[in-house]
A and B are shown apart, each in its own frame.
Chain A
Amino acid sequence: MKMKQKFRDFFSVTCVSFTIIMLIYTALSDWMNADLTRGSIFSLFAVCAIAGAVIFVTDFIPVGSLLLRLGIDFIDVALTVFIFGGVILKLFSFNSKTILVVTGMLMAAFVGAAALSILSDRLSSQAINQKIAEMKKHR
């Protein structure tokens, strides 16, 4: 895939995952005793951006299987969230409750980013089919 397209995917993934994470984090902040401060918002964005960047890099590994590709992407996100977000930025503590909630959050963000990709592909295919129909008309 061309570099420009890959960068576009990286920004889309980062923005969509950040939005989803922010919504869930805000909704659960009281229950999780997590403060929503300026610092935590920037930290969450950094986690999303780094996860997007890791996916961007590992995307260069040629993988034929769809399941393996999704698995690699999910591991990218999980490792970034737990190592960068948990260990380095200390955004959450490592207990069973938070690990469960964080895993749920990252799964939601992952599904959201995948849904965006599917939607984008569907729109592109509609545009291509329209062009094909126009080409046939001109023949």
Chain B
Amino acid sequence: MKTMKLIIEQSEEYSEPEITVKCGMMDERLESIINHIRLNMFSVAGVKDGVTKVLPLSEIFYFDSTDERTFVYLENEVYECAMKLYELEEQIARANFVRISKSCIVNIMKLDSVRPLLNSRYEARLENGEKLIISRHYLPDFKRKFGI
């Protein structure tokens, strides 16, 4: 395993934090670190009981769209989000999220396991025990996310 330098420059000159990754070849470990950074860089505003809360991507299990409304599912809570599913997909596709059906985008970091169903569909089991269906149409994208 190659060694990795971590340089942190802290100064009042900097108005906002900036992360620069310098590398020769991208390996699995580095890719995992970058994905974690991406997960923490972007957040979604979710509304529950009239209260708006900023939800970091790393806490989100999946997004689901029902009747033109988008819902954000955390481990035990559900928030409503103003963004459309396709808008979210564009923003978070590079951060371990993948579309698994017409109405759902899942965080692959929250997956526990998958199992095949009939007709080339899969069932995804999340860390909180919830089960989602990966439709046959989105299966190639899902597999690609895992390099398969």
If the complex has contacts A1-B137, A138-B32, are A129 and B113 also in contact, measured as CB distance less than 8 A? Answer: yes
Q: Quick one: which of B102-122 are within 8 Å of A by CB? A: 108-109, 111-116, 118-120, 122
Interface size class for chain A? 20 to 34
Q: Say if the beta carbon of B139 comes within 8 Å of chain A.
A: yes
Can you give 8 A-B contacts (C-beta < 8 A)?
A1-B120, A117-B120, A121-B116, A121-B120, A124-B148, A125-B116, A127-B148, A131-B146
B147 near A: Cβ within 8 Å? yes
Say if the beta carbon of B143 comes within 8 Å of chain A. Answer: yes
Q: Are A132 and B111 in contact (CB under 8 A)?
A: yes
Q: Is B29 an interface residue (CB 8 A)?
A: yes
Q: Does A2 contact B (CB under 8 A)?
A: yes
Question: Does B38 sit at the interface, judged by CB under 8 A?
Answer: no
Q: Tell me how far the C-beta of A133 lies from the nearest C-beta in chain B, rounded to whole angstroms.
A: 9
The CA-CA distance from A4 to B136 in the complex, in Å, is 14
- The digit string for A1-43, where 1 denotes a CB below 8 A from any CB of B, is 1101100000000000000000000000000000000000000
Min C-beta distance of A79 to chain B, whole Å: 21
Provide the residues of chain A in CB contact with B139, threshold 8 Å: 1, 5
- A42 CA / B20 CA spacing, docked (Å): 60
- Chain A residues with a Cβ under 8 A of chain B: 1-2, 4-5, 66, 69-70, 117-118, 121-122, 124-125, 127-129, 131-132, 134-135, 138-139
Cα distance A139–B143 in the bound complex, in angstroms: 20
Contact B147 A66 (CB under 8 A): no
User: B108 contacts which chain A residues (CB < 8 A)?
Assistant: 132, 135
* Closest chain A CB from B123 CB (angstroms): 9
Cα separation A66 to B122 with both chains bound (whole Å):
13
Instruction: Tell whether B87 is near chain A: CB-to-CB under 8 Å.
Output: no
**Residues on the B chain within 8 Å of A132, using CB:** 108, 111-114, 146
Distance of B30 from chain A, by nearest CB (Å): 11
In angstroms, how far is the closest chain A Cβ from the Cβ of B80? Answer: 27
* Contacting pair B136 A1 (CB below 8 A): yes
Contacts of A129 in B (CB 8 A): 113-114
Known contacts A66-B118, A121-B116, A135-B108; decide if A2 and B140 are in contact (CB<8 Å): yes
Whether the Cβ atoms of B32 and A122 lie closer than 8 Å is no
The answer on a CB contact under 8 Å between B115 and A69 is no
Instruction: List which B38-77 residues lie within 8 A (CB) of chain A.
Output: none
Nearest residue, chain B, Cβ from A114: B118
Q: Do A125 and B109 touch across chains, with their CB atoms under 8 A apart?
A: no
Contact partners of B137 in chain A: CB under 8 A: 1
The residues of B that contact A2 with a CB separation of less than 8 Å are 140-141
